[in-house]
Amino acid sequence: MRHLLRSTLLPLLCAGLLGACASAPNPNMAPAGSKGVYFVAPANGATVTSPFMVKFGLKGMEVRPAGEQVAGTGHHHLLINRESMAPGQIIPVDDVHIHYGKGQTEAELKLAPGTYRLTMQFADGFHLSYGKEMSATLTVTVK
């Protein structure tokens, strides 16, 4: 019985764990689905010097400036040390919710030294979040 557990269940458990790790989303790659966002730069886990460039990637939708309410379009927001926002939630305007309402696909970011979680959140022309499906999160360390 012990040999059966070791020879059958252990390999299945390991394969399942490896599969779960392999399927974790990479914030620097285009999503596998039909639409989503990703970071072109910086790389997840990067150490950067402030100011640094943040470049946004988008798949399956189109970037349009804020105020233009067209289906399948929107603009980027960068959330600093915040989680993705629920679908339909208005993205606030403050120091940790940065809006790129002119349709920017890259920006220079100035942050004090430290480790930060950056969440890119795509939202419609009225700043209503498209939800977790249209977000990506990475971590950077600013020297």
Query: Which pLDDT score is estimated for 34?
Result: 83
Query: Which pLDDT score is estimated for 111?
Result: 98
pLDDT digits (tens, 9 = 90+) for 91-113: 999 999 999 999 999 999 999 99
**Contacts of residue 51, Cβ cutoff 8 Å, sequence gap at least 6:** 108, 109, 110
Is 72's pLDDT higher than 70? Answer: yes
Query: Which pLDDT score is estimated for 30?
Result: 67
Say how many Å lie between the first and final Cα of the chain, rounded. 55
CA 91 – CA 121 distance, rounded (Å): 9
pLDDT digits (tens, 9 = 90+) for 29-47: 766 778 999 999 999 999 9
Q: Write the class of the CATH domain 26-142.
A: mainly beta
CA 128 – CA 109 distance, rounded (Å): 23
Is 9's pLDDT higher than 50? Answer: no
* pTM, 2 dp: 0.80
Is 50's pLDDT higher than 90? Answer: yes
Domain boundaries, the chain: 26-142
β partners of residue 39: 56
